[in-house]
Structure 1
Amino acid sequence: MKILIAEYAGFCFGVKRAIETAYYEIEKNSGRKIYMLGEIIHNPQVISDLSKKGVNIIEEEELDKLTEGDKLIIRSHGVSKKLYDFLAKKGIEVIDVTCPFVKKVQDIVYEHYHKGYSIIIVGDRNHPEVRGVNGWCDDTAYVVNSIEEAHKLPKLEKACAVAQTTLIGRYWEDILEVIKLKVKDLVFFNTICDATQKRQGSAEQLSKKVDVMFVIGGKHSSNTQKLKKICEKNCKNTFHIEDAKELTLEMVKDREIIGITAGASTPDYVIEEVIKKIRFLKGEKEEE
């Protein structure tokens, strides 16, 4: 049996920075309440551990509960400008761990919106990153997530198009070709982050070489879901799992070349636990 791990898998720079900042704030503010706006990243193990250490998850509709001086961690997906303004007015201390790649998209949208461009976001309208980016153009963006949706765009005089940072590269390219037909004066920015492109590319290559492919990450993680879509095109035995507990003998039985990749919010220790469980199921290691 061979276990092959994608060259780029697991924590990316933005997620690593967000998690390290959250734990630093916990240590620095022992005994003081810290709030987290939604899930800082889409990983249940990490969120559970932060909650145990005293970080309180709060949703946008509950922010009125906060009082002056409270600390609030802004998740890596980012939030709208309106929300930043609300928190500042309320006197909330913000610990902003917005991913730098997401912040770049927000800045592009804000700049071009105030220059009179219509904004087009290619991505999932329900994803927190996209909702946050839309908030930098007063929620006026056209959000499209497929070629079909792009065809429904109205004819626009001038527009600026950006991509959700975790979008599949070829989706952006295909949808952009349709957008070009809809806009007279178009400026566009491929804002898919470098780490995402490398992770997707290495997962795609590995999935062509294996008998079974495991994609590890939170079930609500957009970038992990996209990795699964990419892998299952090459390997029909592709499984999206959150942790080692989901592994079964049936998944690995009679499969000798096993591939593993992981979403940007998946810690190394979760990947290691999956590898150990696979070895146990294949009879190479006793379960600890």
Structure 2
Amino acid sequence: MKTFNVPVIYRSPLISAIKQRRKQQDKMKKDFSPTELDFGPVRFLLARHFGFCYGVENAIEIAFKTVDENEGKRIFLLSEMIHNPQVNHDLQSRGVEFIMDTSGKQLIPWEDLKPEDVVIIPAFGTTLEIEAKLQSIGIQPLQYNTTCPFVERVWNKAEQIAGKNYSVIVHGKPKHEETRATFSHSQSNTPTVVVKDMSEAQQLAKFIHGTLPKEDFYSMFKGQYSEGFDVEKDLQRVGVVNQTTMLASETQAIADYIKQAMQDKYQLNETNISDRFADTRDTLCYATNDNQSAVTGMLEEAADLAIVVGGYNSSNTSHLVELCEEKLPTYFISSADKIDNKNEITHYDFHHHQELYTQNFLPNKETVNILLTSGASCPDAIVEGVIRKILSFYGMENAADELAAHM
């Protein structure tokens, strides 16, 4: 796989050595057991896969190169490039300004932009409407494009099945930048509706079966369907694509549920289901799959707690937290700074969108076992910082250096 020129401040000699060793031992990526870092009084079980994915590294390389090559110009990002506060702050510190926030709220009016300005499209991609807006200003919208190739693959799949007269169901968070972009691209080719979870998929299936009055669809899915969507006509042939950072197992479950609804409605079987349901399994992102599978493998080990590191508005990170929460106490933090001391931690409750303060999060026992992972937009250097911070509570500040030297 291609390697990228990512600023060294995001790299970790320790984590890089661990990942390289695991890669050599497991070239086919079939072993999802964690890496054990045993420091005596504290033992870390590090997920097999975590941290920067291909799309994130690609975006970072393009963004920083764009800044370096356009000295003296005004440089803008449509919104956060990725959902990591350090990376976004680093770009802002170099003069990059955000045109919108992550919800799409305008921070800089379009009228303030000039044809000579540089505008970077974030890794989530953007809508066709925004591309047209930039074009009308005189800015080439795709000149500085960091859209993840795996997001573009979803768009291509939606266009491909649209050409075969399928409507598209997008599994994603309706307000997320990536889902808004995917919805825009899909609806330009075919009727499209967004479902955020299995509950909404089950409701949609009732419209497929005709057990709910079609008028209810327009209130139930308000703001989540394309203009002119016809419930009776546009749910007769469908395919499911996804926001790439969703829980892969949930996307598959939703696709299977809709597929079964089509089978039941039209009395189909595996030999002719394609008459009504498109196979779109290849839209699941490899990194989302790998990171979630690695957490599942990690959770098979006995541990006292889990720490998940990443941006609080990171969708893929929140799903790792969800998986961990099912098994043991889980602390979602953005950096080592959130660990105040051996007894106190400030962590994020993404269910209620608030930070919490917890005391005595590290148990008082001979060996504390910690599961550790991070989201796809989190630099490895931050994960190493968490390891070092916790080691310092046991007077082992230099143990990470010693381990890296012997990897």
Identify the TM-score tier after normalising by the shorter chain.
Answer: over 0.9
* Residue 385 of structure 2 is aligned to residue 273 of structure 1: yes
SS at match of 1:40: coil
Structure 1 counterpart of 2:312, from 194, 219, 223: 219
Match of 2:258 in 1: 179
**Unmatched 5+ stretches in structure 1:** none
Q: Deviations over 1:137-168 (max 9, x none)?
A: 33752111222211221222111211221121
Name the larger-Rg structure: 2
Amino acid at match of 1:165: T
TM-score of the aligned structures, taking structure 2 as reference length: 0.67
Given that 1:78 and 1:128 are in contact with CA atoms closer than 8 Å, whether structure 2 keeps it comes out as yes
Given that 1:207 and 1:213 are in contact with CA atoms closer than 8 Å, whether structure 2 keeps it comes out as no
Amino acid at match of 2:178: E
Q: Which one is further off, 238-247 or 168-177?
A: 168-177
Match of 2:196 in 1: 145
Q: Which one is further off, 195-204 or 78-87?
A: 78-87
Q: Distance in 1 between matches of 2:286 and 2:338?
A: 30
Amino acid at match of 2:238: A
**Percent identical residues:** 33
* Residue 234 of structure 2 is aligned to residue 193 of structure 1: no
Amino acid at match of 2:177: P
The alpha-carbon deviation at position 81 of structure 1 amounts to 2.1
**1:16-31, aligned counterparts within 5 Å?**
16-31=57-72
Amino acid at match of 2:68: E
SS at match of 1:252: coil
Match of 1:167 in 2: 246
Q: Distance in 1 between matches of 2:253 and 2:55?
A: 27
* Residue 137 of structure 2 is aligned to residue 90 of structure 1: yes
Q: CA RMSD in A?
A: 1.8
Amino acid at match of 2:159: Y
SS at match of 2:144: strand
Given that 2:304 and 2:363 are in contact with CA atoms closer than 8 Å, whether structure 1 keeps it comes out as no
Q: Size of the alignment, in residue pairs?
A: 285
SS at match of 1:69: coil
TM-score of the aligned structures, taking structure 1 as reference length: 0.93
Match of 2:125 in 1: 78
Amino acid at match of 1:261: T
The alpha-carbon deviation at position 72 of structure 1 amounts to 0.7
Match of 1:205 in 2: 297
Q: Distance in 2 between matches of 1:28 and 1:252?
A: 47
**1:120-159, aligned counterparts within 5 Å?**
120-138=169-187, 140-153=191-204, 154-155=207-208, 156-159=235-238
Given that 1:252 and 1:278 are in contact with CA atoms closer than 8 Å, whether structure 2 keeps it comes out as no
Per residue, is there more strand in 1 or in 2? 1
Amino acid at match of 1:189: T
Q: Distance in 1 between matches of 2:244 and 2:50?
A: 16
SS at match of 2:241: strand
Structure 2 counterpart of 1:285, from 371, 394, 397: 397
Structure 2 counterpart of 1:237, from 321, 329, 348: 329
Structure 1 counterpart of 2:74, from 33, 37, 40: 33
SS at match of 1:200: helix
SS at match of 1:104: helix
Match of 2:270 in 1: none
Amino acid at match of 2:395: G
Q: Distance in 1 between matches of 2:322 and 2:51?
A: 17
**1:43-62, aligned counterparts within 5 Å?**
43-59=84-100, 61=106, 62=109
Q: Distance in 1 between matches of 2:361 and 2:296?
A: 20
The alpha-carbon deviation at position 73 of structure 1 amounts to 0.6
**Unmatched 5+ stretches in structure 2:** 1-41, 209-234, 267-275, 343-359, 399-407
Match of 2:361 in 1: 251
Q: Which one is further off, 195-204 or 114-123?
A: 114-123
The alpha-carbon deviation at position 116 of structure 1 amounts to 3.1
Q: Distance in 1 between matches of 2:314 and 2:131?
A: 24
